[in-house]
């Protein structure tokens, strides 16, 4: 069973990946939650399928649990949901000796991680990540937060979990659309890592079996190992960690343009990655040949996405509040070739709008 340790200046924590994680999960909980008092937050859809089993496991091992269900979907990453979580924690007299457990996908870990960071100025927490997107990205690295009317993830904090559990059995009950969304983040790593990993992703997609546990475990492990390496060098996203935002400046703006929840985050990232590739070859025309294979992969993935009308001008406007900008200048993660990312800023507005238009035209032609 793969275990990847994310090493930080303040300490390290494990990410456990596999289909039989219960014993390791309990061992970590007994170490981290020594007073046995757990506040457990479940994504509602996940709870229906697996929640009772997890509650039973915890109770059999003498943990005292208080459970709270979070409505599934991006709309839960809001100030109103956060307020209800604060009320639950404070009404039940949580203390810093207690432990918070988040069981769900990226929405759940983002939201509950932030609640843990901001309640009593910091409560320890852990994550049972239950979606492919969460396992390869959202649960790893300590970024927590909620959305705001002005944009995605604009309110939040860095608050590292004590551990992350990625039980691949949970993926077997995930809807296909959620699996495709998770692949958006995996494909992002293909662009960052290079051709070898990109080829593995292509082979996986060609099989048509998105639920192959053996292959999924490998894809998750490679993705987590890369992210752990980056985060260990730059926990607070001052430089190299920005590379993990490949496709996200476009993707986040697309989500806001449509309204949160219409496209899943990973679906918007697939479109955003294509926009980033198009902009990369407009900025550096010699990159077109090197990026042709990656661009082709992303175009094929457009066929897996539902289609919604997205307005190019509004999308570009919604980029202006992006967290990664330097002053008023947008910063983009671009590629010279797969495996060779770089950060560009101060680009001509026409290059950006033309890239968005070209990308959205392709999405309109290929989306289902």
Identify the residue whose tokens are 């996986």. Answer: 204
pLDDT tens profile 109-124: 999 999 999 999 999 9
C-alpha atoms less than 13 angstroms from C-alpha of 251 in its C-beta half-sphere: 26
Q: What is the pLDDT of residue 320?
A: 86
Active site residue 245: yes
Q: What is the pLDDT of residue 325?
A: 63
Sequence-distant (≥ 6) Cβ neighbours of residue 301 within 8 angstroms: 180, 183, 184, 187, 205, 270
Q: What is the pLDDT of residue 363?
A: 97
Burial of 86 (0-12, 13-18, 19+ CB in 10 A): middle
24 touches 53 (CB < 8 A): no
Structural domain spans, the chain: 3-173, 176-366
pLDDT mean over 338-360: 96
Q: 1 pLDDT band (50/70/90 cuts)?
A: confident
pLDDT mean over 59-64: 96
d(CA 21, CA 169): 10
Active site residue 241: yes
Q: What is the pLDDT of residue 161?
A: 97
Q: What is the pLDDT of residue 150?
A: 87
Catalytic pick from 143, 256, 281, 282? 143
Among 114, 137, 161, 155, which Cα is nearest to 12's? 161
| Tokens standing for residue 22 | 């219960």
pLDDT mean over 13-21: 96
Arch. (CATH architecture) of 176-366: Up-down Bundle (1.20)
Sequence-distant (≥ 6) Cβ neighbours of residue 237 within 8 angstroms: 324
Among 109, 139, 127, 157, which Cα is nearest to 32's? 127
Catalytic pick from 45, 50, 170, 227? 227
pLDDT mean over 120-135: 98
Strands (DSSP E) along the chain, which ranges? 3-8, 11-18, 37-43, 64-70, 99-104, 125-129, 143-148, 151-158, 164-167, 331-337, 340-345
Active site residue 195: no
187 touches 298 (CB < 8 A): yes
Handedness of CA 84, 69, 217, 198 (dihedral sign): negative
d(CA 53, CA 237): 37
33 touches 99 (CB < 8 A): yes
Active site residue 252: yes
103 touches 93 (CB < 8 A): no
Catalytic pick from 152, 188, 252, 282? 252
Q: 151 pLDDT band (50/70/90 cuts)?
A: confident
Catalytic pick from 45, 50, 170, 265? 265
Active site residue 214: no
187 touches 222 (CB < 8 A): no
Q: 322 pLDDT band (50/70/90 cuts)?
A: low
Strands (DSSP E) along 44-85, which ranges? 64-70
Catalytic pick from 121, 214, 238, 329? 121
Q: What is the pLDDT of residue 359?
A: 98
Catalytic pick from 74, 217, 237, 255? 237
Sequence-distant (≥ 6) Cβ neighbours of residue 294 within 8 angstroms: 190, 191, 198, 277, 335, 338
Active site residue 285: no
pLDDT tens profile 265-293: 999 999 999 999 999 999 999 999 999 99
Among 95, 169, 91, 73, which Cα is nearest to 128's? 169
Active site residue 233: no
How is 271-338 classified by DSSP, letter by letter?
HHHHHHHHHHHHH-TTHHHHHHHHHHHHHHHHTTSPP----HHHHHHHGGG-TT-BTTB-EEEEEEET
Q: Looking at residue 29, what DSSP letter applies?
A: H
pLDDT tens profile 220-269: 999 999 999 999 999 999 899 999 999 999 999 999 999 998 999 999 99
Among 221, 151, 223, which Cα is nearest to 185's? 223
Give the CATH number of domain 3-173.
Answer: 3.40.50.1970
Q: What percent of the chain is modeled with pLDDT above 90?
A: 92
Q: What is the pLDDT of residue 58?
A: 97
Q: Output the average pLDDT for the chain.
A: 95
Catalytic pick from 241, 256, 281, 282? 241
Catalytic pick from 77, 152, 248, 256? 248
């Amino acid at each position: 069973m793969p275990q990847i340790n994310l090493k930080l200046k303040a300490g390290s924590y494990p990410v456990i990946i596999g289909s039989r994680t219960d014993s390791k999960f309990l061992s970590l909980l007994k170490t981290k939650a020594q007073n046995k008092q757990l506040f457990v937050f479940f994504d509602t859809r996940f709870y229906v399928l697996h929640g009772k089993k997890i509650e039973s496991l915890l109770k059999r091992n003498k943990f005292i649990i208080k459970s709270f269900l979070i409505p599934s979907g991006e709309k839960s990453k809001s100030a109103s949901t956060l307020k209800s979580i604060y009320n639950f924690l404070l009404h039940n007299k949580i203390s810093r000796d207690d432990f918070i457990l988040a069981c769900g996908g990226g929405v759940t870990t983002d939201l509950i991680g932030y609640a843990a960071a901001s309640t009593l100025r910091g409560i320890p927490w852990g994550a049972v990540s239950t979606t492919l997107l969460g396992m390869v990205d959202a649960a790893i690295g300590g970024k927590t937060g909620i959305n705001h009317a002005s944009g995605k993830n604009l309110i939040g904090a860095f608050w590292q979990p004590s551990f992350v559990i990625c039980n691949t059995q949970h993926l077997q009950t995930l809807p296909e659309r959620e699996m495709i969304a998770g692949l958006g983040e995996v494909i992002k790593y293909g662009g960052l890592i290079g051709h070898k990993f990109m080829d593995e992703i292509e082979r996986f997609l060609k099989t048509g079996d998105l639920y192959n546990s053996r292959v999924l475990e490998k894809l998750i492990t490679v993705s987590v190992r890369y992210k752990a390496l980056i985060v260990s060098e730059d926990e607070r996203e001052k430089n190299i960690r920005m590379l993990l935002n490949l496709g996200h400046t476009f993707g986040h703006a697309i989500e806001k343009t449509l309204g949160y929840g219409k496209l899943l985050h990973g679906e918007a990232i697939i479109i955003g990655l294509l926009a980033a590739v198009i902009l990369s070859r407009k900025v550096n025309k010699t990159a077109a040949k090197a990026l042709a294979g990656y661009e082709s992969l992303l175009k094929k993935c457009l066929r897996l996405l539902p289609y919604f009308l997205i307005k190019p001008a509004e999308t570009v406007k919604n980029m202006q509040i992006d967290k990664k900008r330097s002053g008023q200048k947008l910063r983009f993660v671009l590629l010279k070739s797969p495996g060779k990312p770089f950060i560009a800023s101060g680009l001509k507005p026409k290059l950006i709008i033309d890239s968005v238009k070209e990308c959205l035209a392709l999405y309109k032609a290929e989306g289902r």
